[in-house]
Amino acid sequence: MDFEARKRDIVTHLALEESNERDKSPKGYIDVPIVELMRLINGHADYVTTSSCSGRIAVYAEGEAEDDGCKTAKGGEWLYVTHERVGLPDKSMQEQCQWCLETVFGSSKVVSSGGSVLSPHQPLIYFKFEPLVLHVEASSAEAADSLTSIALQVGYRNSGIIPSRTRHMLAIRSTLKLDLPIAYRRNNIIHLLVEPSYLLLLIHMSNAKFDQNLDRLQLLEDHVQQFLNKPPVESKQERRIRKQREGREKQLRLQALCQPFGKGV
C-alpha cells in the first residue's frame, strides 16, 4: 500500500465518527486539544497523522518479575491516566494528600515502605507526565524534513525522523516530561517510596506542565498553519515557463490593441 492509499484509509476512519474520532493510540481516540492541528495536517496532500496524544498524567506499575533473580517481567499496568489537568479538591493539604492517594491508587492498600531495602530487580511504580506526541507520515523525505523543522523551531526539541526503509515517518515531541519512581507493589499492597505530600507536589508540577504543553501546542498549530498555507516556492524551470507564458499573453494583448489601427490604414 502506497502513501496515498494509507492516507485515504486513515482519513476515512477518522471521519467515521466526528464526535469520537479514532486513531491508533492506545486509548483509541483523539484528544480534543489536538483535533484542530490534526485536521490541518491531514488536510495537506503531503501528510497524514498516524497516532497522537495531547499530553497525560499517568501512574504506571512495572510488571512483576518472573522470580527474584530474574530481570524479565510480565506486562505492566496503568494504575491511573488522565489527559487533562487534575482538579484538586478545595480542602486542607492533609485531605488533598489523602485524596491523591485514593485517586491514584484506588482501593489498593497503601503503606509506607519504611525505608526497606529493595532488590535491584524490584518492579517499581512510576509517576509520569508525558507531553504531546504526534506521529506523522509524509509523502517524501523533503516533506518530512520540513514539518520536523517547524516542530523544532517552536520548541519540540525531541522531534525527529523515525528510521524506515519504506515510509517517511516523523515524531513531534517535547522535553516537558516527568518520570519518577514513587512506590512498589508487593502482595497487592502499594509501598510508598515518597511522602504523600510529595505525590501532591508532583500533581501540582504536572498541572503546570499541562499549561505549558497547551501553550506550546497552540504555537505549533499557528506555525503549522502558516507553513501549510504558504505558497510553494517557484523553481527556476517553473519561473522560466511562467515568464514565457506571460510574454506570449502580453504580445497577444498588444496585437489585439493594434488591430483596429491596422485596418484603418
d(CA 34, CA 55): 9
* Cβ contact 201:162 at 8 Å: no
* pLDDT tens digit at each of 265 positions of the chain: 799 999 999 998 887 645 454 545 455 568 899 999 999 999 999 999 999 999 999 999 998 765 554 444 567 999 999 999 999 999 999 999 999 999 999 988 999 887 777 888 899 999 999 999 999 999 999 999 999 999 999 999 999 999 999 999 999 999 999 999 999 998 889 999 999 999 999 999 999 999 999 999 999 999 999 998 876 666 677 777 877 888 888 788 777 777 665 555 4
Residue 89: closest CA among 71, 80, 101, 79:
101
d(CA 150, CA 229): 13
The dihedrals phi and psi of 144, each to the nearest 5 degrees, come to: -65, -45
pLDDT of residue 246: 81
The CA-CA-CA angle for residues 128, 130, 132, to 5°, reads: 170
* Cell numbers given for 148: 520536523
d(CA 81, CA 1): 35
* Cβ contact 199:97 at 8 Å: yes
Q: pTM of the entire structure? A: 0.77
* Cβ contact 179:94 at 8 Å: no
235 by DSSP, 3-state: which? Answer: coil
pLDDT of residue 20: 52
Residues 6+ apart with CB under 8 A from 79: 59, 60, 61, 104, 105, 106, 125
pLDDT of residue 73: 52
d(CA 224, CA 222): 6
